[in-house]
Amino acid sequence: MKQLLRLVGLCLALITASAAYADSSAESDHLRAELTAERATVAPGESLWVALTFTMKPKWHTYWSTPGDAGLPPQIAWTLPAGVTAGSLQFPPPEQVPYGEHGEFMNFGYSDKVTLLTEFKVAADAAPAPFTATAAASWLVCSDVCVPEDATLTLPLTIGAAPQTASTPAGAAIAAARAALPKPAPWPVSFARKDKTITLSAGPDIGAGAFSEVTFFPAEDGVLTNTAPQKTTIGDKTLRLEMTVGATPPANVSGMLVLAQNGERVGYAVAAPLTGSAAPTNAEVSAMPLVLAFVFAFLGGIILNVMPCVLPVLVMKAMSFMSRGNTDPAALRRDGLAYTAGVLVAFGALVGALIALRAAGSAVGWGFQLQSPAFVAALSYVMLALGLNLSGVFTIGGSFGVGQELASKGGATGSFFTGLLAVVVATPCTAPFMGTAVGFALTQSPLEAILVFEALGLGLAAPYLLICFVPGMARRLPRPGVWMDRVKQVLAFPLYGAAAWLIWVVAQQLEATELAGALAGLVLVGFIAWLYGTAQQSSGTGRAVALVTAALAFLATVGLTVTLGSAPPAKGAGTQAAGSEPYTAARLAALRAEGRPVFIDFTAAWCITCKVNERIALSKPEVSDAFKSANVAYLIGDWTNRNAEISAALQAVGRDGVPLYLYYGVGAKEPQVLPQVLTASTVVAAVTGK
């Protein structure tokens, strides 16, 4: 039987060999894409390397897995039979591709020709048979313009006994491409930061002699300022590469170190923690003494008490405090200390989480929780529930809801949990002095950061602590009365406003479908509050039914909130500028019918030339003044995502990529096509005719 299977596999391989070695290709005006395999047949349990090769026209380039300051990496979606799996796309060492009139941007990519590899793995129990590997490939190719392209390439292959065949051109090219893939660094590598410099140290035993190239390509955006030069120092078989830090350096740096020596260019995969720390970017903050940071934090905490997020909670606690009529000095001091402890514990947990996230590479700061839609929604539910409580829908206390009761019950326990709650609701708010203090804290050591945040907590706790510790102050508080109910009802409305604002934040973070879940959560919170209030006024079976129903509704609310944490983020609204409108063919026709001149900017987020032109030309005041004086309508056609209408507009003027700038003068039948590399004077001259 085995002999028969081998014979069948050999026959199938011979039948399909010529087709497999023939390139499956697609060609555009900018490059040729070819899909090849190292051999036609792969045996069960073995692997096969497949290559996507781009051969580019002169002056065109495509991108590495991390494209640099702009661009998009090539991608492949494979369609394969059961038993065959494809690995990730593997890239050879890239090159630096400077871009812009004055080199304002740096891309990482390839010119001329590049071979990208994928490893197919065949299951050991795969049955011998021919199959077709289908690659849905997409890429971005750029010169003065950037053009997104795609193609579906197919490659006939066979699962069977692999025959011993002579090396083919495709097999030899793939073998060479495999040899050029990055290798693990054979020597220790470290990254250290000091102020605005990141230093890569490699060695010892890195080798002797001069390197014609030493370049580090980071695997993540924001690690380096890519346009800044990289300074190399070599001594005692150790290499040091000094680079300028980027906007968001992570806690662990990885990427490719490319060394060229004696005509051979080799890439090494490197990764290591980033040690050291950053200096504050603001000169005043950098020079701030630690004691002054404490003062600013303390003052910011005091002012935080009157912010709309915190004030209703504190007033609610103060009214509970007044209604007790407890003026025993020892009890008051215990209350104040417990409240302060709750505030400090909450701030300690907050800064601990913040430090941990920053150490893990996240660029977070004060209010980082609000970057989570689930947290924002949950906080809006808390605000709504507190507002409903103040409006009298339900009361907190008695024998219901231990978790809800804690914040308003008497004694040290209630005060402690009031402190926790005050910090939770304070997260959306900031106050004067806070920004400077928190900014300083996040550039210091973990211990100093904790101390500054705890000073902020002390400021938040200070007014209540003062009432509890200064003799006679508690007696000066207003006596309880009907006015307290009116104040509570008024204070509900800032909480409703806070809940509405937080849901608006969720709307910026999520698409409409997921936002509907957050809104449903608000309804459930209102339902729970009503059930809880009903239970408080009922007894027997009615009370039990209301509590059980409220518990089920609470579980549903928790479930909805959890789903928000895994929901995809909202898509961007597209590129727009002040005074502009989105491009549509209908809007263009309407403006021309009105007799207005029209300037159209066809752009995309991934187009590096577009971004250079926006910075050096279109954002200049003289351009805005010229548009205003001539009553020019400014339309932006954002091609970041596929848009058939914009594609048709590009093709109508013989273009297939962006940027494209068109100016329709008054009465002009055809648009004036402006240069793809703009200056402000070029745009002004087109508009004014001078």
Strands 231-235, 238-244: pairing is antiparallel
Among the ranges given (11-25, 226-240, 472-486, 615-629), the one the predictor scored with the smallest mean pLDDT: 11-25
pLDDT band at 411 (very low <50, low <70, confident <90, very high): low
Q: Which of 84, 141, 132 is nearest to 112 (CA)?
A: 141
Q: Which residues does residue 31 pair with via DSSP β-bridges, in sequence order?
A: 56
Convert the pLDDT of each residue in 623-664 to its tens digit.
999 999 999 999 999 876 567 688 778 767 767 667 889 999
* 251 DSSP assignment: S
Q: Which of 633, 634, 625, 617 is nearest to 678 (CA)?
A: 617
Structure tokens at 257: 């170190």
Residue 176 sits in the same domain as residue 188: no
Please give the pLDDT value at position 523: 92
Residue 165 sits in the same domain as residue 204: no
Residue 541 sits in the same domain as residue 586: no
Residue 405 sits in the same domain as residue 470: yes
* 659 DSSP assignment: -
Residue 248 sits in the same domain as residue 385: no
Last residue of a domain, one of 565, 599, 623: 565
Q: Give domain status of residue 678, yes or no.
A: yes
Residue 77 sits in the same domain as residue 221: no
**Measured distance CA(21)–CA(170) in Å, rounded:** 7
Polymer length of the chain: 690
Domain that holds residue 146: 2-180
Residue 128 sits in the same domain as residue 12: yes
Convert the pLDDT of each residue in 126-139 to its tens digit.
999 999 999 999 99
Contact 192, 201 (CB under 8 A): yes
Name every residue whose Cβ is closer than 8 Å to that of residue 551 and which is 6 or more positions away in sequence. none
Q: Supply φ then ψ for residue 378, to 5 degrees.
A: -60, -40
Residue 261 sits in the same domain as residue 361: no
pLDDT band at 469 (very low <50, low <70, confident <90, very high): confident
CATH of the domain at 164: 2.60.40.1250
Q: Give domain status of residue 630, yes or no.
A: yes
Last residue of a domain, one of 152, 180, 208: 180
Please give the pLDDT value at position 366: 54
Name every residue whose Cβ is closer than 8 Å to that of residue 344 and which is 6 or more positions away in sequence. 419, 454, 457, 458, 461
Q: Give domain status of residue 571, yes or no.
A: no
pLDDT band at 248 (very low <50, low <70, confident <90, very high): confident
Using the predicted structure, report yes or no on whether residue 434 has a pLDDT greater than 50. yes
Q: Which of 610, 614, 611, 613 is nearest to 658 (CA)?
A: 610
Q: Pick the residue with more confidence: 78 or 489?
A: 78
Contact 321, 412 (CB under 8 A): no
CATH of the domain at 664: 3.40.30.10
**Measured distance CA(367)–CA(456) in Å, rounded:** 14
Name every residue whose Cβ is closer than 8 Å to that of residue 256 and which is 6 or more positions away in sequence. 93, 94, 182, 216, 217, 219, 267, 268, 269, 270
Please give the pLDDT value at position 438: 61
Please give the pLDDT value at position 535: 87
Residue 331 sits in the same domain as residue 265: no
Using the predicted structure, report yes or no on whether residue 12 has a pLDDT greater than 70. no
Q: Give domain status of residue 574, yes or no.
A: no
Last residue of a domain, one of 180, 204, 219: 180
Please give the pLDDT value at position 282: 42
Convert the pLDDT of each residue in 202-232 to its tens digit.
988 786 667 889 999 999 988 999 999 999 9
Q: Give domain status of residue 520, yes or no.
A: yes
Please give the pLDDT value at position 401: 34
Residue 132 sits in the same domain as residue 209: no
**Measured distance CA(109)–CA(51) in Å, rounded:** 17
336: Cα within 13 Å, side-chain hemisphere: 21
Q: Give domain status of residue 575, yes or no.
A: no
CATH of the domain at 240: 2.60.40
pLDDT band at 110 (very low <50, low <70, confident <90, very high): very high
Please give the pLDDT value at position 64: 96
Please give the pLDDT value at position 62: 96
Please give the pLDDT value at position 9: 39
Q: What is the total count of domains within the chain? A: 4
Contact 78, 86 (CB under 8 A): yes
Residue 266 sits in the same domain as residue 356: no
Residue 414 sits in the same domain as residue 552: yes
Indicate the helix (H) or strand (E) that contains 15. helix 2-21
Please give the pLDDT value at position 58: 94
Q: Give domain status of residue 252, yes or no.
A: yes
Q: Residues 368, 372, 375, 378: is their CA dihedral positive or negative?
A: positive
Q: Give domain status of residue 86, yes or no.
A: yes
What percentage of the chain reaches a pLDDT higher than 70? 77
